[in-house]
Each structure stands twice: as structure tokens, then as C-alpha cells.
Amino acid sequence: MKLLEYGDSILRRKSKVVKPGDPDVAEGILEQMLVRMRSSDGIGLAAPQIGLLKRLVVIDIPSEPHSILKLINPKITWSSEEMKCCEEGCLSLPGIYEVVERPASVTVEYFNEDFEPCIIEKAQGILAVCLQHEIDHLNGVMFIDHLERSQKSKLSREFRKRQKEKAILEAAAEADVELMGEGPEAEEWCSSKA
Ligand code: CO
């Protein structure tokens, strides 16, 4: 399962509402998303990030017990007037972190995997941030969109530079592997970059 990165136009599109009996949900896409997310040390993942334009989100915040959530069609139905600043990162913008201001608390309505209506009332702290960040993804919004224009373009340039450097390193590693063959040394080098 490949994660799309900033610059991919799919991340800018609006995801579709999921209907009961959805084949991806029936085949366990939410569990697969959790596994993929954890393998990259993420705490939240939205379906557009794996190239699927459906309103599906998974969340697992290790510091918050009982925070493993599989959300279908999540919707913010209340936001606090109080705002809060929190540093955010995103699996689609690896290496980029910035402080974003958002409502301190939100209420989210959604459906669970069995398509039962559920509600998270007045979520706070990192869960409130994560819910807003992931629901943004369903609407084609990335966290850096919340920053001032100059800060956003600075980070966007920084990320593109990183992507370019990564591509050069990967090309070099591939050339190395070809030279060294499939020995253990070559394998080690590949996995240390992953
Ligand atoms: Co994200």
C-alpha cells in the first residue's frame, strides 16, 4: 500500500460518501489502513492518502488509551470557539512539521464498520487535532493550507527539495545494489533508508 505524497493531485480532490455494503469496507480496508499507518509510525490516515477517494479515516494515538478508531463518513458537527496551537506532521508530507491553530475541541459524528451511527463528543487535545487533520484530507485539504501564505510556500519548497534529494539517493542506491549484487551489504543499505 503506497502512501501518496504532497504534490499528487489525488490529495487535492474531495472524497465520496461511503455507502453501506461498500466492497472496500467489506474487505477490511480500514484494518489494512491501520497496519499501513502504524508501519510508518503515523497516528492517523485518511483514504485519499492511499489513493482511495472515499470518506474513510483511521486513528490510533498510542498515548491515548482506547483511541483506535475506524471512521466512515466522519463529520464535524460542533467546534469550540476556543482555538489551540499544536505542532502537526503528515504521512503525505514526511519530514515537515509546523504549528497549526485549530478549534481546541470538536464533536464528530461517523459510522463504524458495521454502519452504526457513532459520536465522539467534545474531543480534545491530540485527538481533536487528529480528527480535524484527517477530515481535512477527505476534503482535499492539507495541514499546511492552514498556514500563512509565505510560511506555506517556504515549507512546500523545502518538501520539494527533500523529494528531489530522496530521488537522487534512491537512484544512487539502486546503482550501488546493481554493482554489489544481492549480498547482505546491499540489503542493509536499502532497509536503512526505508
Ligand atoms: Co495528513
Q: How confident is the model at residue 186, as a pLDDT?
A: 46
Q: How far, in Å, is the centroid of ligand 1 from the Cα of 7?
A: 13
Q: How far, in Å, is the centroid of ligand 1 from the Cα of 182?
A: 35
Please enumerate in sequence order all residues whose Cβ is within 8 A of that of 53, keeping only pairs 6 or more positions apart, or say none. Answer: 10, 13, 14, 15, 16, 47
Please enumerate in sequence order all residues whose Cβ is within 8 A of that of 18, keeping only pairs 6 or more positions apart, or say none. Answer: 25, 54, 55, 56, 72, 73, 111
Q: How far, in Å, is the centroid of ligand 1 from the Cα of 144?
A: 10
Cα separation values, 128 from 12, 67, 147, 148, 157, Å: 22, 11, 18, 22, 28
Task: Enter the C-alpha cell of residue 76.
Answer: 464535524
Q: How far, in Å, is the centroid of ligand 1 from the Cα of 185?
A: 34
Which active-site residues does the annotation give? 134
d(C-alpha 13, C-alpha 8), whole Å: 10
Please enumerate in sequence order all residues whose Cβ is within 8 A of that of 184, keeping only pairs 6 or more positions apart, or say none. Answer: none
Q: How far, in Å, is the centroid of ligand 1 from the Cα of 164?
A: 21
Q: How confident is the model at residue 132, as a pLDDT?
A: 98
Mean pLDDT for back-to-back runs of 10 residues, the chain (194 residues): 95 98 96 96 97 98 87 98 97 95 98 96 96 98 96 94 90 78 48 44
Q: How far, in Å, is the centroid of ligand 1 from the Cα of 172?
A: 29
Q: How far, in Å, is the centroid of ligand 1 from the Cα of 90?
A: 4
Protein residues with C-beta less than 5 angstroms from the ion ligand 1: 90
Q: How confident is the model at residue 192, as a pLDDT?
A: 45
Q: How confident is the model at residue 173, as a pLDDT?
A: 87
Q: What is the pTM of this model?
A: 0.87
Contact (Cβ atoms closer than 8 angstroms) between residue 139 and residue 133: no
- Calculate the CA 102 to chain-centre distance: 17
